[in-house]
Amino acid sequence: MRPRVGLLIPLVLGALVTSCATYAPEPLSDKPDLSSDVRHLVVNADQFPLPEVGTHRFDPRRPLDTDEVAMIAVANNPDLRATRSKIGVAQAQVFAAGILPNPQFSFEYGSLLGGPGIISPLLAGLSQDVVPLLTLSTRKAAARASEVSVELDVAWQEWQIVSRARLLFIDAISLAKQRRLIKENFQLFTDRYQRSSQSMQAGNEVLPTVTSDLVALNSAETQLNDTDQLILKNKHDLNALLGLTPEATLRLAGGVRLPALDAGRLEPLLMDLAARRPDLLALQTGYQAQDEKVRRAVIEQFPKLNVGSNFSRDNTDVRAQSVAVTISLPIFDRNQGNIAIERATREQLWEEYQARLDAAYGGAKRLISELRLAEDQYRSSGESVRRLRDAVATAEPAFRAGNLDERTFVDLRTSLLAKEITTAKLEQSILQQRVGLQTLIGSRLLNRRLDLTRMP
């Protein structure tokens, strides 16, 4: 038997050693991890936070639409990659919450130095803290709820990134459209200033008129330069959001759908915000986790209990086996401080959740109202564009025939371009508001089609 025991001890010790965690360094990188070409990216549509684009096929070889830009952002945004690491921390915390405290072993051995004793005394004991066993279920439930809360927080961050990507896409398309109109307007003012300047040199035009033309030209040039700066900034912001280098070039699809609101179908979505928006769901699960912490604090108010068993042998070789119970006396500390803290924290989370829910509902209702006004203004502006186009089409033959002076005709064309720019900005504003409303509601908007004025 003894040889077998001798073999068993090394095996047990070896098993304990191999089950221990080991350290492995993970050095930091000193190089950026940005892509320069979207064709090298792999995007899995199944992992997209919005289910309605789960069937969308990502093809980087063709111009990117709003959904594809959003998919790249979710897959490749550096901040999102860092945020997702929080899920691993939460999962580790769930694992840690299910681990019981180790039992405590004590051993005492005495050496005889003299006297009538016949053997060295010893004392061995094994004990276990009972309270962690009682709070195990609440600790695990709180950790699981916290894990779900973290996952939902990450999902909400993904939704925010999707919204930001779509807004930048809309701005890129809208600014390019506005630049074409502003460039045409700038060219009109350039031609008019050159003609009026030449006429003044020939003695056929007065200085105030030429000065007025120069002021208008400078204003158009400033507007064009400002738009170029906005386009470049928008490009850099979009590339940064997608995890691309600033100089990376994106081919964007030129069309953006502009459906109208159907407020009757939006109302049920507003009433169901708490069951659909990730940030509200995250606050709910965070509240559940805190409620479990309150429950645990209440359980921990009871006396601390430690149960064990001791084996003793005195110096006369008298042996005894005893049961040991250690209990704390709740005279001063009955965990009332922790209970008060956990209850106050739960109340704080309740108020935060209600405030977020109220803000979500109020913000969505406000955006719906603002969108109705913007769409009415868009339709009215479109009617003005059509009238001005008809006027330009009527005036152009008269101008070519010499029956209409050049300044009046240019003023008419300038008015048309200015109204087209205003209409393009209204279109951009409506698209931005709809993206914001989609984010507030937490789903792609149900809508009916409305024939809005579209400019070529």
Model confidence pLDDT, tens digit, residues 323-336: 989 888 888 888 99
Q: Percentage of the chain surpassing pLDDT 70?
A: 87
Write out pLDDT tens, residues 101-140: 889 999 999 888 877 878 889 999 999 988 888 889 999 9
Report the distance separating Cα 415 and Cα 187, nearest Å.
14
Q: Is the pLDDT of residue 439 over 90?
A: no
Residue 246 to residues 30, 35, 238, Cα–Cα distance (Å):
19, 10, 9
pLDDT reported for residue 311 = 92
Report the distance separating Cα 454 and Cα 382, nearest Å.
8
- Please compute the mean of the pLDDT values over residues 135-146 and round it to a whole number: 91
The tokens describing 176, both together, are: 């390019």
Among residues 88, 59, 87, 86, the alpha carbon closest in space to that of 72 is found at: 59
Q: Is the pLDDT of residue 10 over 70?
A: no
Q: Is the pLDDT of residue 245 over 80?
A: yes
- Please compute the mean of the pLDDT values over residues 210-227 and round it to a whole number: 90
- Please compute the mean of the pLDDT values over residues 252-277 and round it to a whole number: 76
Write out pLDDT tens, residues 20-69: 777 788 788 777 878 777 766 766 666 665 655 555 666 777 888 888 88
pLDDT reported for residue 74 = 86
Amino acid, single-letter form, for residue 222: T
Write out pLDDT tens, residues 333-374: 889 999 999 999 999 999 999 999 999 999 988 988 898 899
Report the distance separating Cα 417 and Cα 181, nearest Å.
6
Cα dihedral sign, 7-11-17-18: positive
